[in-house]
Structure 1
Amino acid sequence: MSETVSFGYEEVPPDEKTRRVGGVFTSVAARYDLMNDAMSGGMHRLWKDRFVRRVKPRPGDQILDMAGGTGDIAFRLAEAGAAVTVADINPDMLDVGMARAQKRGIDGLVWTEANAETLSFPDRFFDAYTIAFGIRNVTDIPAALNEAHRVLRRGGRFFCLEFSTTLWPGFAEAYDTYSHRLVPRLGKLLANDEDSYRYLIESIRRFPDMERFKAMIGDAGFVQTRAEPMLGGLVAIHSGWKI
C-alpha cells in the first residue's frame, strides 16, 4: 500500500484514513438510513433488492455481509434462510443494526466487529461474501479483496454493490451538481453533519471506475468477474467466483 491514500479529495496516511472514516460513521450511524432515503429518493432500497437477487441466497448458506452495519442487506439475505454473519469495523453502526433487528423480531444473525482487511475467520468458511456501499471506505482495498477470497469456499461467490461513474450524457453532469451541492446540505439538515456527507460524496469520485474495480477483483483471484451497471453506471453490482 502507498504511503498515502485518499480520504475524499485529500491524501492522508493510511492509519489516519482508517481513523477518520471511523469518525464519519460514528457521526452518521443514527441517521444513516434516513439519509440514504433522502439522498437516493428511496432508490437504494431497489438497488439492494436487486443486489440480493443476484446473490441468490439459499437456506443454509453461510454468508458474510461485510460493512453490514445497519443490517439492510443482512435482513434480506436472512429472509431466504441463509445464515448471515454481519461484520463491520464500526461498533456504532453495529449497534444500530442490532437495535433494528430486535425491533423487527429478526433472530439468528451473528454480529461482529471486524476489519475487512484482516478478518479473523478461517479459510474457506463462507459460501458467499457481500459488501454494499462499503468497499470504497476501506483503507486497503486490495487487502480486503484478498481476505474476501481467502474466507470463501471453492465455488464461493463475491458480490459488491457500490457507487461508480455514470456514463449517461447529461445525467452525469446533473448528478455531479446534485451530489456536491445538495447532499452536504441534506447532511446538515437531517443529520447535523455536513462534513461527513461531503466526504462520502468525494469518496465516490475517488473510487475506481467499473472496469478498474473489476480488474482489481480479478487480481484478488476471482474468476468470471462481472460489472452490472445501474443508472448508466452510477451504481454497479460487481461479482466474481472462487474456484
Structure 2
Amino acid sequence: MLQLAVSRDQASPAPHLLGLQFPLTPHRSPPRKSKLLSVPIEDLRPTQMAVGMRAVAAKREKVERRARSGRKLRRFLEDRPIPAVYGPADDLFILDHHHLSLALLKSDVEEAFVRVVGDFSHLPRKRFLQRMSALGLLHAYDGHGRPVCPTELPESLSKLRSDPYRDLAWSVREAGGFAKTGRPYAEFRWADFFRTRIPRSTVRRDFDYAHDRAMWLARSREASRMPGYTGR
C-alpha cells in the first residue's frame, strides 16, 4: 500500500542507539524521508501493554476519513512517522503512537511510516529488555496500572489491552487540562494520577463526570509536579 524506496542501511547507519533524544520529537515535526521505512502494521511490536480504547476509536475515525483518498492518507501518515528501534530478530519496537498504530490496524490499513531511531538488534532478548527499561522506553504495566514483567508485553498491537484511565488522561489533554510534553509515557503518569483519585467504577459508569473531576484535579496544586502541568 505505502512504499518507500529506503533501505535499512539508509534508515539505520549506526550499530547502536542513533541520536535518540529525550523528549522524543513531537509527532507533527516534518519527517526526514531518508530515514523513513514503510512497514506492515502487523509487524510492529508494542512497548506498552494497554491503551485507551476511546482514544483509539477517535484516531480510527480520523484515519478512515482520510482513507477515502490514498493521497490524503499517505500525507497523514508521513506527517506522523512512528518512532521505533530494532530489537532481537530485527523486530521493530515502537516507542510512541500506539493508539494511532492500533487505529490503523483496526481500519485495515496495511502499512505505516516508521522512523528508526535506534538499533539494539545485537542484544539478546533479556539484555534488550533491560536496556529498554533503563532508558525508560518500556511501560510494563497492565490495564490496572499494575507492574508486570517486561517479557509479558504483548507481541502484537492486536493484543493491547484497555486502560480506562489512559482514556481519561487523553480526554483531559484534549480539553487543555495539561500540555503535551513529548516525554515517553507522560500520559500514563497522568492516568496513574487519576487512578488513585477517581474510582474505576466512576470512570466506567459516568465518563463525563470522571472527565470533569479529572479536569479539576489536573488544574489543582496537587498536580503541579506532573508533566505538562499548566494550572489552567
- Calculate the TM-score normalised by the size of structure 2: 0.27
**Of Structure 1 and Structure 2, which has the larger fraction of its residues in helix?**
1
Say which structure, 1 or 2, has more relative contact order (CA 8 Å, 6+ apart).
2
Structure with higher Rg: it is 2
**Of Structure 1 and Structure 2, which has the larger fraction of its residues in strand?**
1
